[in-house]
Amino acid sequence: MAIEGLNDVPFAIQRVYYILGSTGSSRGFHAHRELEQLLTCPVGSCRVTLDDGHRRRDFQLQGPDQGLYIGPMIWREMHDFSEGSLLIVFASAWHNEDDYIRDYNEFRKLARDGHGH
């Protein structure tokens, strides 16, 4: 499986990380002010909840032919990892704690006001 920045992913990839076999735990619970990401779960499956401050929607990720793009100012939660699953995340920037919004109420207010940058 090959993935090319700007070709298969709508941004230049600057960082890749993965979450391995995280059964029984949920991850995420934050939004990013500017970061763009693409999630794929080539092995096993997981459920990703996205929230734009107005609506919540669940996406089931399973298999290498699916990718989920997450733009700036979207709250994300990852749930229901299957045993031995591999969730790979391609990101547009290096890790930067200042880009995170970890408080849901703060996120919702910023998203609804159209701020966040």
Question: Which residues of the shown chain bind ligand TYD in the complex (CB under 6 A)?
Answer: 15, 17, 19, 27-28, 30, 95
When CB distances to ligand TYD are compared, the closest residue is 27
**Least CB distance from residue 30 to ligand TYD, whole Å?**
6
**Least CB distance from residue 91 to ligand TYD, whole Å?**
7
**Alpha-carbon distances, residue 81 vs 21, 59, 115 (angstroms):** 7, 13, 32
Alpha helix (H) ranges present in the chain? Answer: 104-113
| Dihedral in degrees, nearest 10, Cα atoms 60, 114, 14, 39 | 0
Q: Is 54 a catalytic residue?
A: no
H/E stretch holding 110: helix 104-113
Residue 98 phi/psi, 5-degree rounding, is -65, -20
**Least CB distance from residue 89 to ligand TYD, whole Å?**
7
For residue 19, the Cα-to-chain-centroid distance in whole angstroms is 11
Nearer of residues 28 and 72 to ligand TYD, judged by Cβ? 28
Nearer of residues 61 and 113 to ligand TYD, judged by Cβ? 61
Nearer of residues 98 and 113 to ligand TYD, judged by Cβ? 98
Just list the catalytic residues: 30
